[in-house]
């Protein structure tokens, strides 16, 4: 599997890319994780939001979004992190996190990065310098914890 990593400002996304993003997010978050919620939350096309995509040919297999610090109260916020079922177990999550940190540093140097992690992934994100920032909470009946990287 050869992955092409592409990070685009929302204003540079093509319709096919946006459709692939929304489709994969629905497949993973709404169908697979059985969380009935409105995924398009108004932030995908807002401010300086950027979308990091991992493509295997014409298939989107990994994705996350970067919300800009101005719109998020001072932190870059990583969210909607996912790997497609076909891409799991191949190290894509690690590649994607490395790409996300590079993109955040390039676009917003020296700005802290925040994410809301599923609680069982604290160790995973800890490898990238994230530390717990707050108390555990439930989001869509899944335990989450805020984590920040300074």
The per-residue pLDDT for range 50-96, each reduced to its tens digit, is: 999 999 999 999 999 999 999 999 999 999 999 999 999 999 999 99
Q: Return the bridge partners of 98, or none.
A: none
Residue 114: closest CA among 139, 93, 133, 135: 133
Residues 23-50 as b/e (b if ≥16 CB within 10 A, e otherwise) read: ebbeebbeeeeeeeeeeeeebbeeebbb
pLDDT over 70, % of the chain: 100
Distance from C-alpha of 133 to C-alpha of 149, rounded to nearest angstrom: 9
Q: pTM of this prediction?
A: 0.94
Q: Is 101 exposed, middle or buried (0-12, 13-18, 19+ CB in 10 A)?
A: middle
Residue 102: closest CA among 2, 3, 6, 1: 6
Sign of torsion, CA 51 55 59 61? negative
148 CB contacts (<8 Å, ≥6 apart)? 75, 112, 113, 114, 130, 131, 133
| pLDDT level of residue 113 (50, 70, 90 thresholds) | very high
Q: Which residue do the tokens 């993973």 mark?
A: 28
Q: Which residue do the tokens 């994607």 mark?
A: 96
- At residue 79, the pLDDT reads 96
């Amino acid at each position: 599997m050869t992955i092409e990593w592409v990070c685009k400002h929302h204003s540079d996304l093509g319709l096919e890319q946006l459709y692939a993003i929304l489709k994969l997010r629905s497949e993973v978050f709404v169908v697979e994780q059985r969380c009935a919620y409105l995924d398009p939350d108004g932030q995908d096309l807002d401010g300086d939001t950027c979308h990091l995509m991992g493509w295997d040919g014409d298939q989107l297999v990994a994705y996350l979004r970067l919300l800009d610090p101005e719109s998020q109260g001072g932190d870059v916020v990583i969210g909607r992190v996912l790997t497609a079922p076909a891409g799991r177990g191949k190290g894509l999550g690690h590649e994607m996190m490395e790409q996300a940190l590079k993109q955040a540093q390039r676009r917003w140097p020296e700005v802290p990065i925040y994410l809301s992690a599923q609680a069982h992934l604290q160790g995973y994100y800890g490898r990238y310098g994230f530390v717990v920032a707050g108390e555990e909470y439930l989001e869509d009946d899944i335990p989450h914890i805020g984590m920040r990287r300074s």
